[in-house]
């Protein structure tokens, strides 16, 4: 790969992930300083030429979501004004994705608003990882490459949790909306069967389990989700599976938001191990024994390589 025609920049959201991606690609991270003025406004100082270059800005818009989103937008704007050839926004975690439609009167569709902001700032391509709702791709008027970490999670279980035998393991979707994701995970984990938890959500971050669809009695179960925020849903689901006769319960998710009191809930839950990716940085105080992390740096590095050389992204998942 010609490493002279593209460069990678990032803000402060997840520098460890970006450093790992740069090591995968054998490139240096772009020279940029992202700081704040005394009044809290974000200051950007790009210290190398980007004229005519293919630029990738890697920035999850995780907590603090508004700061990280503004860093992303200002970096994109600065790069466009510096005559970058093409600006690609690589967003491993897309904040505001759960506000993707109107459920009640007078609600915003913030996922669409954020898409408009990123496009207006000057991004010419967006790369995302396991968007909460697939239709968010259509909110952008620029190309979107939608990657998935499901194969990485399934491979991690197959390699690191060999106690999960194909004949006694069931992949479980914690809701009806996650069935496609869970089926993909199950197919890659020795084609194990799936089960579905039927629930209702009376309000945000609150869920109630109503029924378990599928045979999980005496089986080891793996809950598969995209986002775990307060961990209330995943922990209640794990408890319900045990009550319905499951043997051991594991869980995995692409994005470990882990807002309070998520870590405490996971620690006290019946979940044996909870696997997340490093799409969101995990602070040391949240790094408990039950939580294991798998890196998506190789996945994102591969996507960047393919985009830079105009090769197919879909072939990554064939």
Cα distances (Å, whole numbers) of residue 249 to 2, 121, 127, 161: 46, 44, 32, 12
CA pair distance 75, 87, nearest whole angstrom = 10
Q: Counting Cβ atoms within 10 Å, is residue 248 exposed (0-12), middle (13-18) or buried (19+)?
A: buried
Annotated active-site residue 239? The verdict is no
Which residues in 297-309 are b (16+ Cβ under 10 Å) and which e? bebbbbbbebbbe
Residue 44 tokens read as 């950007």
Chain-centroid distance of CA 271 in Å reads 21
**Shortest CA distance to 263 belongs to which of 286, 238, 237?**
286
> Quick check: 121 and 88 in contact, CB under 8 A?
no
> Quick check: 34 and 47 in contact, CB under 8 A?
no
Query: How many of the other CB atoms lie within 10 Å of CB of 180?
Result: 11
Q: Choosing from 86, 199, 236, 248, which is the catalytic residue?
A: 199
- Catalytic (active-site) positions: 199
């Amino acid at each position: 790969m010609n490493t002279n025609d593209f460069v990678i920049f990032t803000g402060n959201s997840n520098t460890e992930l970006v450093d790992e991606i740069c090591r995968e690609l054998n490139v240096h991270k772009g020279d940029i300083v992202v700081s704040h003025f005394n009044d809290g406004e974000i200051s950007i100082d790009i210290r190398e030429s980007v004229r005519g270059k293919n630029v990738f800005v890697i920035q999850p818009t995780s907590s603090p979501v508004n700061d990280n989103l503004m860093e992303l937008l200002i970096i994109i704007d600065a790069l466009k004004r510096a005559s970058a050839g093409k600006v690609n926004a690589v967003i491993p975690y897309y904040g505001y994705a759960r506000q993707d439609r109107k459920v009640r009167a007078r609600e915003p569709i913030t996922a669409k608003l954020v898409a408009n902001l990123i496009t207006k700032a000057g991004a010419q391509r967006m790369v995302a990882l396991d968007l909460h709702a697939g239709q968010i791709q259509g909110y952008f008027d620029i190309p979107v490459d939608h990657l998935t970490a499901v194969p990485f999670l399934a491979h991690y279980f197959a390699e690191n949790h060999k106690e999960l035998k194909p004949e006694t393991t069931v992949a479980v979707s914690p809701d009806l909306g996650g069935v496609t994701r869970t089926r993909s995970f199950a197919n890659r984990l020795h084609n194990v069967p799936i089960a579905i938890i039927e629930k209702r959500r009376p309000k945000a971050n609150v869920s109630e389990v109503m029924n378990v669809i599928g045979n999980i009695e005496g089986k080891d179960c793996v809950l598969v989700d995209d986002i775990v925020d307060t961990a209330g849903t995943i922990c209640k689901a794990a408890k319900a599976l045990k009550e319905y006769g499951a043997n051991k319960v594991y869980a995995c998710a692409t994005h470990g938001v882990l807002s309070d009191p998520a870590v405490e809930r996971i620690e006290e839950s019946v979940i044996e191990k909870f696997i997340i990716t490093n799409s969101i940085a995990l602070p040391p105080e949240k790094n408990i024994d039950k939580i294991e992390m798998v890196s998506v740096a190789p996945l994102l590095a591969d996507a960047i390589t393919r985009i830079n050389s105009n090769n197919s992204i879909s072939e990554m998942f064939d």
